[in-house]
Structure 1
């Protein structure tokens, strides 16, 4: 049965590396969570390796810039892996064609097209560029989020998706998350648009959590830092029951579910979780995190 813990230090010595989610776990989009930062710094001080694994649609360089801007210190992590990184491989390989219609906030998501953590991707982009075109000229769709990510809802895209489905276009989804909390405002992510497209009969491709490509990339980058580690040496941390926890389960990795992210307040106070309600909810969803706590600290 899932174990409820009150402090990360209770289990930290069991692991050599973390795959830790970012938004809702380390920061809220505007500021870092002090307890989470302290926990990650302490883990690294004891020899652990922290890989931040995010469903952000932007590649690593842009996420590093954001982390610096909002005050997440560099000594809290060793590496960053994003859904944007993993999706770039598919995008530049022509997974949805070489004439692609982009849905997403610009210029916010411009880094997806011109920043690369892997030099081979930069070379591929130069050798075989993908052209961004209007929907009626497209061979496929790339979705990094709603165009107006603070205000749009998936329903705003029904007409466009009907045309895209009629044309048989595949959608490449750069962020499988459905929603995220930006400070105190909940906003839709690319995953919510992709879910609607599938509901309407379209096809979507995913490379972020809980899907294998982002974990394969995270393992490769972890291996560069610490060698090949066995599954039982890696802990996944996140607030997404259907992304972070499900992804860990599918990868054979332990997980720590944080209730005070997307499910804030659902199970009582962060420091006094209602175990009965929590375990019933987990059982109903067939999700089995190894550990649960309110917030990372």
Structure 2
């Protein structure tokens, strides 16, 4: 009679694909399970912003360059909804795990820092793209949206969602309670978003604020994304691509360093 072999440790290999996929699936299921709050609520909020600006114009056709204002505004609103939800997904996931004390369940599995970062960021990017897509369809019902440069739309949607997911992950690791991540939202994310030209063309700003806007990485993600829809930009597109890549590269380095050192994660 043969006896079954005793339990043996699983060979992980150079990449823990099972752990990476499990973490990513967990992050996606977190927001899908409460989709009324995580997907549909941002769409309704964005449509309210759109309605306020439409009513403020009172039916007048205002132009920004060669583009009607409402068509100019739409990509900015889509990007705002997309990036805010990407940030919320990663930041809330880490902060909730730390406050509830189950962050150890994420740190104990044999997963490298890059695998942990990919799992969290992948979930944030997925939520951001889902919200952006649904928001775009909702706005399309009221404003004709064209896409003469789809490559810019896809690139900036991915890079912007990744940027805010990384920022949310870094903020979540730094935060010890919900008040801390709220401070990051109120004093970092919101000011950068409102100074980025979401609701206006930065070409109309005074010189001082024009320069401030051009040092804001959020400006380049809005500007490139809007160019994909309208063919009109306020900045240098090539510089915007470089800024997006450089900012994401820095945030990847920062997040990986935090995870490797266990900064505010390990006692």
Task: Settle same-fold status: TM greater than 0.5.
Answer: no
More helix by share: 2
TM-score, with length taken from structure 1: 0.21
Relative CO higher for 1 or 2, CA cutoff 8 Å, sep ≥ 6? 2
Higher CA-based Rg: 2
More strand by share: 1
TM-score, with length taken from structure 2: 0.23
